[in-house]
Structure 1
Amino acid sequence: MSPISNQFINFLQDELAIPSESIATALRRGEANTSISQLPMILWQYGLVTLQQLDLIFDWLEAA
């Protein structure tokens, strides 16, 4: 994973309290080439984040 990916995963776990199992599930559900920009939508699609969390994720990605 690239540094931004590690930072993003840390943000999801530390700031939004998304369990690592949920993140792993989203990564498995996505394509093998799932990018960090697609991960938020996959998390939301599978009900692993709320719309409020999704907004925070997009804000974080925009600022990164």
Structure 2
Amino acid sequence: MIIQTSSKDMELLNFLHDELELTEKDMALALKHRQSDNEPLPMLLWQYGLVDLEQLEQILDWLYKEI
């Protein structure tokens, strides 16, 4: 399955990989579920236990700065 991502999503994925050290497998899982559930990626990462609350806060802070 090919998962399409926007340039903003790619920036977020790079942040997740570089700063939070998430694996490509973890990110692909969240992206796959986002397509079927239409949920925000940070919440999916947290719901599936791929990030903890501290990491979720880091992601949300990063997103806020990018607005």
Normalised-by-shorter TM-score class: 0.7 to 0.9
| Larger relative contact order (CA 8 Å, sep ≥ 6) | 1
What TM-score results when the alignment is normalised by the length of structure 2? 0.82
5+ long unaligned stretches in structure 1 = none
In structure 2, the CA distance between the partners of 1:6 and 1:29, relative to structure 1 (3 Å rule), is same
- As a proportion of its length, which structure holds more helix? 2
Q: Secondary structure at the match of 2:35?
A: coil
Percent identical residues = 44
| TM-align CA RMSD | 1.6
How many Å apart are 1:34 and its aligned residue?
3.7
Q: What secondary structure does 1:17 align onto?
A: coil
Larger Rg: 2
